């Protein structure tokens, strides 16, 4: 590259050097910045460094000078602070949605948002108990296509599949594509779901797991309209996932005092807790008479009890009887 071209890029390379090599604990003197620029084939006088740094400051880069024997210039603040990047890296590593190779690629990109020295601290070793690895790598591109269609008010087409025992895809509808209006994305238990609308069906609204979608494509066809005044996306998703799936009923539940944390995690920190003696407390909540809710209560064994309504207690008895029938002594 000719010298004149290098000089035109001088300030940009200076910004790169400061961003990559400096932070609160690592500074560079003016002479060290001169030497660093020389490695890019950009000879510069030391006195011009001060003008270039001032130009970068005016542009918005927060460059500070630390005085003293071990002083020098460094980037003081960035778009993402190191604790924020650590949090993002932990989220990437712990997500079931992201396969190992893609996880490493994302972490490498996050590492470029801080200095090289601080980037070493992003080599986090997070171990997720029982983590299942995602099988569908194209999910990232599917999510991007879906969001684009929602923002543009267009329909999408996609194929939907399950896995057989050999982990081969088995496409539903004989491999014919679905055409739906995408409404909203939902993140539930480390999985992405898409809420869609199709007025041609009685059950016009439906959800699909994004990692089970293939060949996702935004269409030129305008999205179908639905009555946003009478349909609540938040309420639909609340009833679709977790213990609220299906028709909700008011219930009174009793728990051992050791389960306060689990109860607040499930029902929220604002949930009133009533002391009923015997190291137990009760709560009132809207739940559904469904296997999902019953299974949540059952996991606590004798430390949890459904007090009312009787229909919910009856459902628990039926579920327990059914389980005994399956796991009773054979022969």
CB contact at 8 A, 143 and 210: yes
Q: Is the pLDDT of residue 123 over 60?
A: yes
CB contact at 8 A, 152 and 221: no
The separation between the first and the last C-alpha atoms of the chain, rounded to the nearest angstrom, is: 84
CB contact at 8 A, 32 and 39: no
pLDDT at residue 125, rounded to an integer: 57
Q: Considering the entire predicted model, what is its pTM?
A: 0.65
More confident residue, 40 or 90: 40
Range in 32-46, 55-69, 119-133, 254-268 the model is least confident about = 119-133
- CA 170 to CA 269: how far, in whole Å? 43
Percentage above 70 pLDDT, the chain:
92
**What domains lie within the chain, and their CATH numbers?**
3-75 (1.10.10.10), 82-122 (no CATH), 139-239 (no CATH), 241-327 (3.30.70.240)
**Average pLDDT over the chain, rounded to whole?**
88
pLDDT at residue 331, rounded to an integer: 58
Q: How confident is the model at residue 90 (pLDDT cuts 50, 70, 90)?
A: confident
More confident residue, 328 or 97: 328
pLDDT at residue 127, rounded to an integer: 53
pLDDT at residue 1, rounded to an integer: 44
pLDDT at residue 24, rounded to an integer: 92
Q: How many helices (H) and strands (E) in the chain?
A: 12, 12
Mean pLDDT of 45-51: 92
More confident residue, 235 or 293: 293
Q: How confident is the model at residue 317 (pLDDT cuts 50, 70, 90)?
A: very high
**Residues 226-274: tens digit of each pLDDT:** 998 888 888 888 778 776 776 789 999 999 999 999 999 888 888 999 9
Which residues in the chain belong to E strands, given as ranges?
A: 63-66, 72-75, 154-163, 169-171, 178-188, 191-197, 205-209, 213-222, 248-256, 274-277, 280-288, 304-308
pLDDT at residue 124, rounded to an integer: 67
pLDDT at residue 164, rounded to an integer: 87
Question: Exposed, middle or buried, 251 (CB in 10 Å: 0-12/13-18/19+)?
Answer: buried
CB contact at 8 A, 42 and 52: no
CB contact at 8 A, 122 and 110: yes
Mean pLDDT of 32-50: 93
**Residues 144-194: tens digit of each pLDDT:** 899 999 999 999 999 999 988 888 989 999 999 999 999 998 888 778 899
Distance of CA 62 to the CA centre of its chain: 30
């Amino acid at each position: 590259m000719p010298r004149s071209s290098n000089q035109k890029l001088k300030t940009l390379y200076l910004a790169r050097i400061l961003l990559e090599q400096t932070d609160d604990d690592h500074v560079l003197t003016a002479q060290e910045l001169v030497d660093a620029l020389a490695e890019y084939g950009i000879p510069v006088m030391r006195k011009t460094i001060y003008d270039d740094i001032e130009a970068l400051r005016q542009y918005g880069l927060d460059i500070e000078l630390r005085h003293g024997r071990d002083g020098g210039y460094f980037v003081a603040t960035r778009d993402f602070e190191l604790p924020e990047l650590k949090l993002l890296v932990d989220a990437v590593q712990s997500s079931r949605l992201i396969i190992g190779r893609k996880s490493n690629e994302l972490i490498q990109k996050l590492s470029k948002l801080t200095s090289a020295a601080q980037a070493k601290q992003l080599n986090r070793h997070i171990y997720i108990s029982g983590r299942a690895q995602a099988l569908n790598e194209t999910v990232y591109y599917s999510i991007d296509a879906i969001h684009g269609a929602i923002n543009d008010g267009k329909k999408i087409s996609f194929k939907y599949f399950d896995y057989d025992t050999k982990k081969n895809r088995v496409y539903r509808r004989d491999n014919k594509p679905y055409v739906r209006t995408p409404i909203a994305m939902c993140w539930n238990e480390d999985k992405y779901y898409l809420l869609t609308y199709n007025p041609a069906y009685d059950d016009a609204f439906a959800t699909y797991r994004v990692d089970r979608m293939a060949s996702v494509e935004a269409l030129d066809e305008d999205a179908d309209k639905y009555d946003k005044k009478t349909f609540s996306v938040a309420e639909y998703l609340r009833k679709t996932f977790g213990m609220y799936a299906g028709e909700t009923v008011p219930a009174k539940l009793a728990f051992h005092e050791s389960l306060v944390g689990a109860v607040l995690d499930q029902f929220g920190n604002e949930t009133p807790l009533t002391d009923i003696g015997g190291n137990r407390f009760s709560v009132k909540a809207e739940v559904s008479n469904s296997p999902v809710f019953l299974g949540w209560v059952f996991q606590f064994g004798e430390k949890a009890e459904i007090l009312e309504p009787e229909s919910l207690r009856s459902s628990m008895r039926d579920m327990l009887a059914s389980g005994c029938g399956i796991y009773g002594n054979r022969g």
